[in-house]
Amino acid sequence: MKILRIDSSAQTDGAHSRVLMDTFISKLGNVATVVERDLTESLPHVDAEWVAANNTAADDRSLEQNAKLSVSNALIDELEAADTLLIGLPIYNFGVPAALKAWIDQVCRAHRTFAYSQNGPVGLLEGKRAIVVYVSGGTPIGSDIDFASNYIRHIMGFIGITDVTFVAADKHMMDDTALLRATDEIKALANKLS
C-alpha cells in the first residue's frame, strides 16, 4: 500500500489530527510505504501567472511557466503514485485550513487530475481511496455549520477519488469521549487494511 499523508494542522506538536494519523500509520506496520506532505511548509498560492502557465499547452510553455507549475507537478506526482490518501482535516472557523485549500488549488488541474467532457468534469485519479481525519473542537461533522467535510468529499470526487472514509473526532472540546472513539475507529480501520 502506498499512502500519501497530508498534514494540514498549523500545530506540529500534539495536534489531534496528527496524533490520530500517527496511530493509523503505526497500526499498519510494514504493509505501507508512506510519503509525508506537511502543509505547514507553505505552498505558493495560485496567481495570474500560474493560471496562464496552466492554460498554455505543455509543449508551448516557457521555462518560466514550467517553473511556475513545478510545485503543482510535484504534488500531483505524489497523488498519482499513491493508492491511499490520509488527510488530516482540522476544522478552522467551520472550514478547511488555508494550507489545505492551497494544496487543493495546486492539485485540481485540468488535463492532470480532471478533464472536461460533454457531460462535465471527469476525475482522472480513479481507483484510489481517501481517509479523512476530521477534528473539530465544536463543529459536528455533517452539520449545517460544517463547511469542510462535504467540500473535501466533493473535491476528492472531482479528481476521481470516490472511495472516501471519514474518521471524526468532532466536538472534542465538548465531548470527552470524541478522541477515544476516533482512536478506536482509526485503529480498527488500520487493522482492516493491514
The reply, when asked if residue 9 is annotated as ligand binding, is: yes
Reported in sequence order, the residue ranges of the chain that DSSP labels E, i.e. its strands, are 2-7, 33-38, 84-90, 114-117, 120-123, 129-135, 163-169
What residues have CB less than 8 Å from 87, skipping those under 6 apart? 6, 8, 100, 130, 131, 132, 133, 152
Is 113:125 a contact under the CB 8 Å cutoff? yes
| φ/ψ of residue 60, rounded to 5 | -100, 0
Can you tell me whether residue 7 is helix, strand or coil?
Answer: strand
Query: C-alpha cell of 77?
Result: 506526482
Binding site: which residues?
9
Binding site for FMN: which residues?
9
